[in-house]
Amino acid sequence: MRNIKTITISLPPEQLRRAERLAKKQSRTMSELFREGLRRLEAEEQQRPVADLASVLRLIRQSAREAGLDTMTRREINAEVEAARKERTTKTDSSRKR
C-alpha cells in the first residue's frame, strides 16, 4: 500500500513546458520536481521571519547613525532609557489623577 496521494494541478502551457524541460534536465520526474519546489518554498518561508528581523535591525541601526545615537555609551543609553521611562510614568500618573 502506497503512502502517497495523487493530485491534479493546472499550469499554463508555457509553464508546463518549462517544468518538463527542467525535470528532464535534472533527471527528475515531474512529481520530484514539484516536491522539491514545495520543500524550497517551505524552507524560504521558515527563513522569512529571520530576514524580516534582520531588515528591521538594519533600519534601526541606520536611523540611530543618522540621529547620531550610534556613538552613545551604554551608560548614556541607560540614562536615556531611564529618563524616557520616568517621563512616561509621570504622564501616566498625571492622566490617572484626572
Residue 75, classed as helix, strand or coil, is: helix
Confidence at residue 90, expressed as pLDDT on a 0 to 100 scale? 84
Residue 30, domain extent: 13-97
Q: Is 5 part of a structural domain of the chain? A: no
Q: Which helix (H) or strand (E) holds 89?
A: helix 74-97
Is 31 part of any domain? yes
What stretches of 26-73 show up as alpha helix (H) in DSSP?
30-66
Record the pTM. Answer: 0.50
In the DSSP assignment, the letter for residue 71 is: G
In contact, 75 and 83? CB cutoff 8 Å: no
- Residue 61 neighbours by CB under 8 Å, 6+ apart: 70
pLDDT (tens digit, 0 to 9) for every residue of the chain, 98 residues total?
678 899 999 999 999 999 999 999 999 999 999 999 999 999 988 877 777 888 888 888 898 888 887 788 889 889 989 999 999 888 777 776 66
Q: Can you read off the three cell numbers belonging to residue 65? A: 547613525
> Into how many domains does the chain fold?
1
Residue 3 within any structural domain of the chain: no
